[in-house]
């Protein structure tokens, strides 16, 4: 990090934005705490702000922060609304801007762009609340999930038709739009993007049927292979597709792109996460650590990119 940027960061009052009221609040608190501790140890002037959506503007003004590190997952933190407030207050912030955040959070909007750009996505159908479910042309098993949600919240794999109504009902608890998609059997991988470059791929091997909330956040429920032990050509292609997916949505600085490598060797993009988990054991930090970027430097570099947008 250049001397000038270091000097600027040392003068900043940095707000770690965490918590919120989304279904991913508890994960956000863990991410924010990890980031806060890492930056505090680096000697930076950091404070934690548990963001309340209706009071966010007042919170940011009263705190006097000059730079924001967003560690909020889902809902208000990741869908562009928080980013919009920070821009109006002229407070630089980490990660993607308003439009890219909106697109990445909306699985339907992002998939339309992916399809237009030639990126494979699972066959899917959007269901709106109180609309009759028509799934002609789909075969079981199916995946049912909210169209704007992270951490596998509300996600169900449905093997038989009689289980579909309950799965749809569960997904509707998280919003008025639900995606039903073909289940693709294969290997779950994720491609971290950092400073506009793909990191080593991670293969995710859950001990449960799929990488659900429990598999993600309960210790010992999932094995992670870094770098993924897949064919060289698949590895490079996945990195290329990951970076392309990040770019076509207009994301910046960092993200994490989740994919399935099917048994037939095809790569399918599931989603782009603009604010992935940020504890020392989260996937993006794992991938960064594989190329020698420790957690503290990862967090500082994210702040550096935000600061550069103002200098």
Query: Pick the catalytic residue: 23, 110, 151, 255?
Result: 151
Q: Check if 151 is active-site.
A: yes
How far is it, in rounded angstroms, from Cα 192 to Cα 222? 18
Catalytic pick among 125, 217, 234, 250: 217
277 is catalytic: yes
Catalytic residue among 79, 253, 271, 301: 271
Active site residue 271: yes
| Given 22, 111, 277, 282, the catalytic residue | 277
Active site residue 24: yes
**CA–CA separation, 82 and 68 (whole Å):** 11
Nearest to 74 by CA among 188, 175, 163: 175
Residue of 31, 273, 282, 289 marked catalytic: 273
For the chain, what is the HEC assignment? Answer: CCHHHHHHHHHCCEEEEECCCCCCHHHHHHHHHHHHHHHHHCCCCEEEEECCHHHHHHHHHHHCCCEEEECCCCHHHHCCHHHHHHHHCCCCECCCCHHHHHHHHCHHHHHHHHHHCCCCCCCEEEEECCCCCCCCCCCCCEEEEECCCCCCCCCEEECCHHHHHHHHHHHHHHCCEEEEEECCCEEEEEEEEECCEECCCEEEEECCCCCCHHHHHCCCCEEEECCCCCCHHHHHHHHHHHHHHHHHCCCCCEEEEEEEEECCCCEEEEEEECCCCCCCCCHHHHHHHCCCCCHHHHHHHHHHHHHHCCC
Active-site entry in 78, 181, 253, 258: 258
**Residue 217 a catalytic site member:** yes
So which residues are the catalytic ones? 24, 151, 217, 256, 258, 271, 273, 277
């Amino acid at each position: 990090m250049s001397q000038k940027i270091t000097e600027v960061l040392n003068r900043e009052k940095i707000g770690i934005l965490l918590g919120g009221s989304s279904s991913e609040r508890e994960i956000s608190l863990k991410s924010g705490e990890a980031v806060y501790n890492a930056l505090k140890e680096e000697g930076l002037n950091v404070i934690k702000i548990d963001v309340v959506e209706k009071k966010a503007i007042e919170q940011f003004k009263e705190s006097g922060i000059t730079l924001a590190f967003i560690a909020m997952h889902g809902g208000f933190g990741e869908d562009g609304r928080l980013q919009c407030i920070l821009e109006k207050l002229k407070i630089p912030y980490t990660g993607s801007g308003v439009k890219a955040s909106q697109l990445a959070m909306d699985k339907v909007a992002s998939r339309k762009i992916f399809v237009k750009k030639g990126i494979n996505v699972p066959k899917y159908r959007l269901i709106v609340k109180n609309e009759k479910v028509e799934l002609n042309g789909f075969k079981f098993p199916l995946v049912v999930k909210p169209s704007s949600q992270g951490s596998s919240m509300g996600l169900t794999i449905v093997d038989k038709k009689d289980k579909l109504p309950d799965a749809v009902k569960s997904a509707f608890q998280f919003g008025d739009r639900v995606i039903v998609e073909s289940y693709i059997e294969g290997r779950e991988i994720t491609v971290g993007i950092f400073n506009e470059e793909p990191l080593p791929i991670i293969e995710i091997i859950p001990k449960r049927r799929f990488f659900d909330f429990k598999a993600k956040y309960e210790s010992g429920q999932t094995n992670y292979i870094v770098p993924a032990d897949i064919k060289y050509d698949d590895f490079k292609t996945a990195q290329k597709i990951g970076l392309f997916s990040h770019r076509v949505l207009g994301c910046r600085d960092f993200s994490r792109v989740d994919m399935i490598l099917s048994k037939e060797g095809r790569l399918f993009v599931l989603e782009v996460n603009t604010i992935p988990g940020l504890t020392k054991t989260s996937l993006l930090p794992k991938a960064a650590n594989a190329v020698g970027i420790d957690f503290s430097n990862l967090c500082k570099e994210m702040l550096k990119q935000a600061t550069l947008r103002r200098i």
